[in-house]
Structure 1
């Protein structure tokens, strides 16, 4: 039985209850065969003291969407995903609206994965570019 896109997104977002993703209001909004997109509102909750988006909040958005992508595109019955390393280059500041993080795979191995995560604003201006490496670890039986 195939699940609808709306039902899939609702199920994925329900998994974020009582997590950092819920605290930062990160929501998965789109996916395809090789990508996943999340959005986060830019409000004072995620600002640094001078009123622009905090780099740590951007990194949390990137790691969330990248880890979810690795999780979704992995055999969840046999493996769980953990982040290994994240890098973030912040290119432009933003103080309001939404940012969108699109995660795509640069490498999708059995054990390690490398994702490219582009963070953009509502006009598709590049805000940050991030790289996330994840590892698939076997579940104990």
Structure 2
């Protein structure tokens, strides 16, 4: 990740997201901006009993990267709070990593919406999600 992306990520998470669900799920950020956030997550450790990537894990990745983009969009002194997420699971992933790309669809003063595409290591779409965040002043 380039230094500007790292600075944006540090500003959102106050320099530390250790001990959070991001760390537990093994999510690694690749690119961070208000327009687009890219991150990857291992399939191993995030599966359901059948060995397939858990649908909830896909939703965690989607909400993490979408809300990160929304927080960057909101700017200093503001925060993003997820208010609605949906996900369509297209195919199973059983190994390797999945990569999520969150692209801003709408960025206003009080609401931001991101479309998230999650793909496997072969570039096949695993999940499509949409996240809407409310933007408000930080407390």
TM-score exceeds 0.5: yes
| Deviation digits for residues 99-126 of structure 1 (CA, Å, limit 9, x no counterpart) | 0110011111110111100001122111
Q: Give the paired residue count.
A: 136
Q: Pairwise mapping of residues 1-141 of structure 1 onto structure 2 (< 5 A)?
A: 4-5=3-4, 7-8=6-7, 11=10, 14-32=15-33, 34-43=35-44, 45-77=45-77, 79-140=78-139
Task: Give the alignment's TM-score, normalised by structure 2.
Answer: 0.88
Secondary structure in 1 matching 2:106: strand
Structure 1 residue 28: Cα displacement: 0.8
Q: CA RMSD in A?
A: 2.0
Distance 1:33 1:131, change over 3 A: closer
Secondary structure in 2 matching 1:46: coil
Please identify runs of 4+ aligned residues in structure 1 that moved more than 6 A. none
Task: Give the alignment's TM-score, normalised by structure 1.
Answer: 0.87
Segments of 5+ residues of structure 1 without an aligned counterpart are none
Contact (CA 8 Å) 2:8, 2:33: kept in 1 or not? Answer: no
Higher-Rg structure is: 1
